[in-house]
Amino acid sequence: MKSGIVVALSIFLGWSTAFSHGDGDGHGMGFVRVEQAWARPSPPMVKNGVVYLRLKNRSNKPDRLLGVSTPVAKRAELHEHQMKGGMAMMRPVEGIDVPPGALVSLHPGGLHIMLFDLHEPLKAGQHFPLSLELTQSGRIEAEVEVREMEAHARKPKGGHHGMH
């Protein structure tokens, strides 16, 4: 019984190590990986920005995103969008759960990362670093690409409210 558990654990550890070696960036402990991090360009007078990304949990342990920070903004918050009385509102969330094996998507109209007090406008083509703090994975460094949203990512009819 006991040896069965040890074998299973070592298989899991070997598996996760193999993956973290293939990551390229090799940051963090390799539980959760950041994919497709991007931000919209910000107009010159707008001091806020928004970041979208995907969190892939390759482990069998639950993880949770607790917070983010970046040198390009004074403050960053985890937000979610909600429909309230037919209007899209957003509010801060304390954390974002990343269950074992899950791919959690932060995308327009849903969960997102809000940047406050940008030091400079975000320009298309620019890249900037983003630090993510998770309970299991610890600190992960990601790179965010500034770009326009792809046409297929959103339905053409807007009715979009707010600064996103």
Binding string, 90-129, against Cu ion, x = CB under 5 A?
A: x-----------------------x---------------
DSSP label at residue 71: T
Asked if residue 79 binds Cu ion (CB under 5 A), the reply is: yes
Query: According to CB under 5 A, which residues from 134 to 153 bind Cu ion?
Result: none
Nearest to 42 by CA among 114, 100, 138, 124: 124
Which are the contacts of 108, defined by CB distance < 8 A and separation ≥ 6?
Answer: 52, 149, 153, 154, 164
Q: What are the CA-CA distances from residue 7 to residues 2, 61, 90 (Å)?
A: 9, 17, 46
36: phi > 0 → left, psi -120 to 50 → alpha, else beta; which? left
Asked if residue 51 binds Cu ion (CB under 5 A), the reply is: no
Q: How many residues bind Cu ion, per CB under 5 A?
A: 3
CB 164 within 8 A of CB 50: yes
Cβ distance to Cu ion smaller for residue 33 or 79: 79
Cβ distance to Cu ion smaller for residue 80 or 133: 80
Residue number of the CB closest to Cu ion reads 79
CB of 127 to Cu ion, least distance (A): 21
CB of 36 to Cu ion, least distance (A): 19
CB 82 within 8 A of CB 90: yes
Cβ distance to Cu ion smaller for residue 51 or 142: 51
CB of 112 to Cu ion, least distance (A): 6
Binding stretches for Cu ion (CB under 5 A): 79, 90, 114
